[in-house]
């Protein structure tokens, strides 16, 4: 219980500090709105963390994820590697930081929905890094950004960069936080992270830790997954990753806003299911702005099986989850909703209503945009 209370008061302090509540920069009306938002988030926090007096199990050996060797997320591609993972032959990955043009809404590039991004290996989010507990890894990061800050990177102070492995147990010198734990990676330079995976399976994040708000907002983030060994896995049928972020006023799932998340020829994260399947939904929030999200499923409940990469065997059952920047959740959803004569499209979206539209407001889908996808029965 103590860790829950500590987390709550830490969040309260951060929330009010982010919103300049303690200064005279806010009007009375603005402060009342901030207080209202704080009350709403507090209610959701208590429902999530304290419901049924449940606590995250400490030191549990239960895996946080299921074995998805044949059923991985079909949209976010895994980063290829060489090596076996042994100490003498570590798994070797390459991340290249470079400029990229990125469509956040594929159907409307002329409407400002194509952004100038900084990316890992040319995609936003970056490719998924998958490893197994016990693996030895080497991750080489090469900075191919220009030496001077481009004009489009408004607010950016530098093109120096670095990679931090958020939630992953690494040695101090591999933490990726210049100037504290390693040098800056300047344009044209590289840095190699070397460490052993020494923790239970779960979902984490890798992201820049230089000029962080700007560089993360430009696209420098990705998913880091520690897989369970086959004998330790719990059963599931499919995995879907939902990377929550924002860019240029668009709220994104896997780098896209609705309708590109779920409709059209190449949706970014349509959740396809068959009746009765066990679906692993993996949520991670790397939003660069000072906001929060409440992810809600229509027609389904889900069970929280892990938080921040730690197994939660007695996690709560719910249909709306509060998630804030830096948090990760593994959810188990049973595809047991009404299929509407064999097929159905059940919405899965953020319930913070301003996050359900795009800034241009021009769409053939009744002004729906932002953080919306669907659970589609096949």
Q: What is the pLDDT of residues 91-125, one digit of tens each?
A: 999 999 999 998 888 765 445 578 889 999 999 99
- Calculate ∠ Cα 36-42-44, nearest 5°: 110
What's the rounded mean pLDDT across residues 314-325?
A: 95
* 196: pLDDT strictly greater than 90: yes
Mean pLDDT, residues 191-208 taken together: 94
Residue 174: per-residue pLDDT: 96
Query: Do 31 and 148 lie in a common domain?
Result: no
Neighbours of 198 (CB within 10 A): 12
**Dist. CA 95–CA 220, nearest whole Å:** 11
Residue 132 phi, psi (nearest 5): -125, 145
Structure-derived torsion over alpha carbons of residues 3, 4, 8, 14, reported in degrees to the nearest 10? 40
> What mean pLDDT is predicted for residues 266-289?
90
Q: How far apart are CA 150 and CA 123, in angstroms?
A: 19
CATH of the domain at 153: 2.60.40.420
Assigned domain for 70 exists:
no
Whether residue 115 sits in one domain with residue 26? no
pLDDT, tens only, 45-60: 565 555 434 433 333 4
Residue 266 pLDDT more than 80?
no
In the chain, at which residue ranges do the beta strands (DSSP E only) sit?
A: 91-103, 114-120, 126-132, 136-143, 164-166, 190-196, 202-207, 221-227, 238-247, 250-253, 271-273, 278-285, 293-297, 302-307, 310-311, 317-318, 320-323, 328-334, 345-350, 372-377
* Radius of gyration, alpha carbons of the chain: 20
Across the range 200-220, mean pLDDT stands at 94
Which residues contact residue 366 at a Cβ distance below 8 angstroms, ignoring those fewer than 6 apart?
none
Q: Considering 232, 249, 278, which residue would you say is the last residue of a domain? A: 232
CA atoms within 13 A on the CB side of 321: 31
Domain co-membership, 95 together with 223: yes
Our count of domains for the chain comes to 3
Is the pLDDT score of 36 beyond 70?
no
The pTM of this model reads 0.82
Does 270 reside within a domain? Answer: yes
Q: Which domain covers residue 357, as residue numbers?
A: 238-377
Q: To the nearest whole percent, how much of the chain has pLDDT over 70?
A: 77
Q: Are residues 252 and 156 in the same domain?
A: no
pLDDT at 259: 86
Mean pLDDT is lowest, of 14-18, 23-27, 305-309, for 14-18
- Average pLDDT score over residue span 78-88: 96
What tokens appear for 183 in the block?
């040098």
Please check whether residues 247 and 212 belong to one and the same domain: no
- Which of 209, 232, 255 terminates a domain? The answer is 232
243 and 152 both lie in a single domain: no
Question: Could you tell me if residue 73 is inside a domain?
Answer: no
The reply to whether 65 falls in a domain is no
Is the pLDDT assigned to residue 2 strictly greater than 50? Answer: no
Q: What is the pLDDT of residue 4?
A: 47
Domain final position from 232, 264, 289: 232
pLDDT at residue 59, rounded to an integer: 36
**Whether residues 218 and 138 fall in one domain:** yes
295 domain-assigned: yes
Is 74 part of a structural domain of the chain? no
Instruction: Mark whether 206 and 121 lie in a shared domain.
Output: yes
| Predicted pLDDT at 267 | 79
CA 145 from chain center: how many Å? Answer: 23
pLDDT at 106: 76
Mean pLDDT, rounded, for 198-219: 93
Is 85 within a domain? no
Within 10 A of 354 (CB to CB), how many other CB atoms are there?
9
- Residues 7-11, mean pLDDT to the nearest whole number: 54
Is residue 95 domain-shared with residue 222, that is, in the same domain?
Answer: yes
Residue 62 placed within a domain: no
Q: Per-residue pLDDT tens for 60-77?
A: 444 445 555 447 888 899
Instruction: Determine whether 184 is exposed, middle or buried from the number of CB atoms within 10 Å of its CB (0-12, 13-18, 19+).
Output: middle
User: What pLDDT is stored for residue 356 in this prediction?
Assistant: 87
pLDDT of residue 43: 63
Q: Could you give the CA distance from residue 285 to residue 215 in angstroms, rounded to a whole number?
A: 15
Residues 156 and 244 in one domain: no
- Residue 293 near residue 352 (C-beta atoms within 8 A): yes
233 pLDDT band, cuts 50/70/90, is: confident
242 with 292, same domain: the answer is yes
Question: How deeply is 165 buried, as exposed, middle or buried, from its count of CB atoms within 10 A (0-12, 13-18, 19+)?
Answer: buried
Together in a domain, 154 and 218: yes
Q: How far is CA 105 from CA 120, 159, 245, in A?
A: 20, 26, 14
């Amino acid at each position: 219980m103590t860790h829950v209370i500590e987390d709550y008061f830490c969040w309260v302090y951060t929330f009010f500090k982010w919103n300049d509540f303690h200064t005279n920069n806010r009007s009375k009306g603005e402060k009342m709105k901030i207080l209202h938002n704080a009350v709403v988030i507090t209610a959701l926090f208590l429902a999530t963390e304290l419901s049924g007096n449940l606590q995250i199990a400490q030191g549990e050996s239960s895996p946080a994820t299921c074995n998805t060797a044949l059923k991985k997320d079909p949209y976010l591609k895994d980063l290829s590697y060489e090596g076996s993972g042994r100490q003498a032959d570590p798994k070797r990955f390459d991340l290249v930081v470079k400029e990229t043009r990125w469509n956040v809404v594929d159907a409307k590039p002329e409407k400002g929905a194509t952004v100038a991004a900084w990316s890992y290996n040319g995609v936003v989010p970056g490719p998924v890094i998958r490893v197994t507990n016990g693996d030895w890894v080497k991750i080489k990061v090469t900075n191919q950004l220009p030496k001077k800050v481009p004009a489009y990177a408004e607010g950016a102070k530098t093109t120096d960069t670095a990679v931090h492995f958020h939630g992953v147990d690494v040695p101090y010198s591999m933490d990726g936080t210049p100037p504290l734990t390693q040098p800056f990676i300047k344009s044209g330079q590289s840095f190699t992270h070397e460490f052993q995976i020494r923790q239970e399976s779960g979902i984490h994040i890798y992201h820049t830790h230089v000029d962080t708000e700007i560089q993360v907002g430009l696209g420098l983030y990705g998913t880091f997954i520690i897989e369970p060994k086959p004998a330790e896995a719990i059963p599931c049928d499919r995995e879907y990753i939902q990377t929550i972020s924002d860019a240029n006023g668009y709220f994104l799932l896997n780098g896209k806003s609705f309708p590109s998340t779920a409709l059209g020829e190449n949706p970014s994260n349509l959740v396809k299911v068959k009746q009765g399947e066990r679906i692993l939904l993996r949520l991670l929030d790397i939003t660069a702005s000072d906001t929060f999200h409440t992810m809600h499923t229509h027609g389904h409940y889900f069970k929280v099986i892990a938080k921040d990469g730690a197994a939660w065997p007695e996690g709560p059952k719910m249909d709306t989850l509060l998630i804030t920047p830096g948090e990760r959740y593994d959810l188990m959803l049973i595809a047991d909703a009404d299929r509407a004569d064999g097929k159905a499209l059940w919405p899965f979206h953020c319930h913070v209503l301003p996050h359900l539209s795009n800034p241009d407001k021009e769409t053939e889908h009744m002004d729906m945009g932002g953080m919306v996808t669907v659970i589609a029965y096949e």
